[in-house]
Chain A
Amino acid sequence: GAVVSQHPSRVICKSGTSVKIECRSLDFQATTMFWYRQFPKQSLMLMATSNEGSKATYEQGVEKDKFLINHASLTLSTLTVTSAHPEDSSFYICSASTPVGMNTEAFFGQGTRLTVV
């Protein structure tokens, strides 16, 4: 199946600093990618939809100025957590879809564990 790669897999940063997470589709072009956040023992929560060449679409309650999303090419989307605080510590996951027949199959990155200290 298609491969989506996230980097880094784990990051620890100081409170107040910014962290960038990369999501790459390695063997297909993804015009749309999605960013999720997952807290311990909870389900994935969709944060935003990243569209190549245009602004991201954020879900209700997600601060667009805090979670900056850039989708500069068909294979790369980045999520920057600005001025990170301990409550931003979470597991961040990206996904990209590729059409399969009449429906799409989503492929997920391996996730990034962010710890803000």
Chain B
Amino acid sequence: LAKTTQPISMDSYEGQEVNITCSHNNIATNDYITWYQQFPSQGPRFIIQGYKTKVTNEVASLFIPADRKSSTLSLPRVSLSDTAVYYCLVGYYTGTASKLTFGTGTRLQVTL
């Protein structure tokens, strides 16, 4: 499983765009990139998943360069409620389930 590296923490003001970058230099051909959000005392919640280029959904965008050795989660106009830990995971489809290994995550603190 590819190892991921993210900043330990980030700070932002409400209303700003936040970009969290994750490095995964040894990503394999079959690996997908998935981001999860976790609030204190709750299980992680799926945010977005991608393989290459750009993916956008109602809450975030995911940018993946051509070499796929990194990815950037973009959160537009963050609010106080976006304060959480964000995990970048790299894994692949095994046929029935993917074993996910969590890295350190990025603790995002949003303030007024």
Number of B residues near A (Cβ < 8 Å) is: 25
Assess A46 versus B92: contact at CB under 8 Å? Given A106-B46, A111-B41. no
Stretch at the interface among A13-21, A62-70, A89-97: A89-97
The one of A44, A107, A110 in contact with B102, judged by C-beta atoms closer than 8 angstroms, is A44
Binary contact track B46-57/A, C-beta < 8 Å → 1, others 0? 100101000000
10 of the cross-chain contacts (CB-CB < 8 Å) are A46-B102, A95-B100, A97-B96, A97-B97, A103-B49, A103-B98, A104-B98, A106-B34, A106-B100, A107-B46
The chain B residues found within 8 Å of chain A, CB to CB, are 32, 34, 36, 41-46, 49, 51, 87, 92-94, 96-105
> What 10 A-B pairs are tightest by C-beta distance, nearest first?
A108-B43, A97-B97, A32-B97, A44-B102, A103-B93, A104-B98, A103-B32, A43-B102, A111-B43, A108-B44
Closest CB of chain B to A109's CB: distance in Å? 5
CB distance B93 to A105 under 8 Å?
no
Q: How far is the CA of A110 from the CA of B93 in the complex (A)?
A: 24
Q: Which of chain A's residues have a CB closer than 8 A to the CB of B97? A: 30-32, 34, 96-97, 104, 106
Q: Given contacts A97-B98, A103-B98, could you give 19 more A-B pairs where the C-beta distance is less than 8 Å? A: A30-B97, A31-B96, A43-B102, A43-B103, A45-B102, A46-B99, A102-B93, A103-B32, A103-B92, A104-B93, A104-B97, A104-B98, A105-B46, A106-B97, A106-B98, A108-B44, A108-B45, A111-B41, A111-B43
A30, A49, A97, A103: residue with the most chain B Cβ atoms closer than 10 Å: A103
Closest CB of chain B to A91's CB: distance in Å? 7
* A7 CB within 8 Å of chain B: no
The chain A residues found within 8 Å of chain B, CB to CB, are 1, 4, 6, 30-32, 34, 36, 43-46, 49, 91, 93, 95-97, 99, 102-111, 113
Question: Chain B interface secondary structure, helix, strand, loop or mixed?
Answer: loop
Question: Chain A interface secondary structure, helix, strand, loop or mixed?
Answer: strand
Q: Which of chain B's residues have a CB closer than 8 A to the CB of A91? A: 41
Assess A43 versus B105: contact at CB under 8 Å? Given A91-B41, A110-B43. yes
